[in-house]
Amino acid sequence: MRSSKLSRFAGFALGIAGVCAFALPSVAATENADTRFETMDADGDGKISPDEHTAAATRMFDTMDANKDGKVTAAEMDGAQQKLLGKKHVKSA
């Protein structure tokens, strides 16, 4: 059970790492890291501040929270990925 929780946390952490991919689907389609960075860098100073990262994470969370209950389930996360990538997430064993 602990391993399952750790796996879910790791999956969520990886989801956060891809914040722009979920928050900004049109940018994600380009797979261009520079463009995603520039989109997050709201003030254009060449750095992502904690506030800029928080704003991007909030957009990602809002995108994944399909039923707008303030929580993201694994199913909602999978649905957001499927919508973004056009394919279903395959869980590894």
* Cα separations in angstroms, 74 against 34, 57, 70: 29, 17, 14
Contacts 24+ apart (CB under 8 A), 76-82: 77/11, 77/12, 77/15, 80/22, 81/22
User: What is residue 39's predicted lDDT score, i.e. its pLDDT?
Assistant: 87
Residue 93: strand, helix, or coil: coil
User: What is residue 86's predicted lDDT score, i.e. its pLDDT?
Assistant: 79
Read off the pLDDT of residues 79-90 as tens digits, 9 standing for 90 and up.
998 888 876 655
What pTM does this model have?
Answer: 0.56
Read off the pLDDT of residues 6-50 as tens digits, 9 standing for 90 and up.
566 555 555 665 554 544 454 444 457 888 888 899 999 999 999
Q: Which residue has the higher pLDDT, 76 or 30?
A: 76
User: What is residue 27's predicted lDDT score, i.e. its pLDDT?
Assistant: 43
Mean pLDDT to the nearest integer, 48-55: 95
User: What is residue 21's predicted lDDT score, i.e. its pLDDT?
Assistant: 52
Q: Which residue has the higher pLDDT, 92 or 54?
A: 54
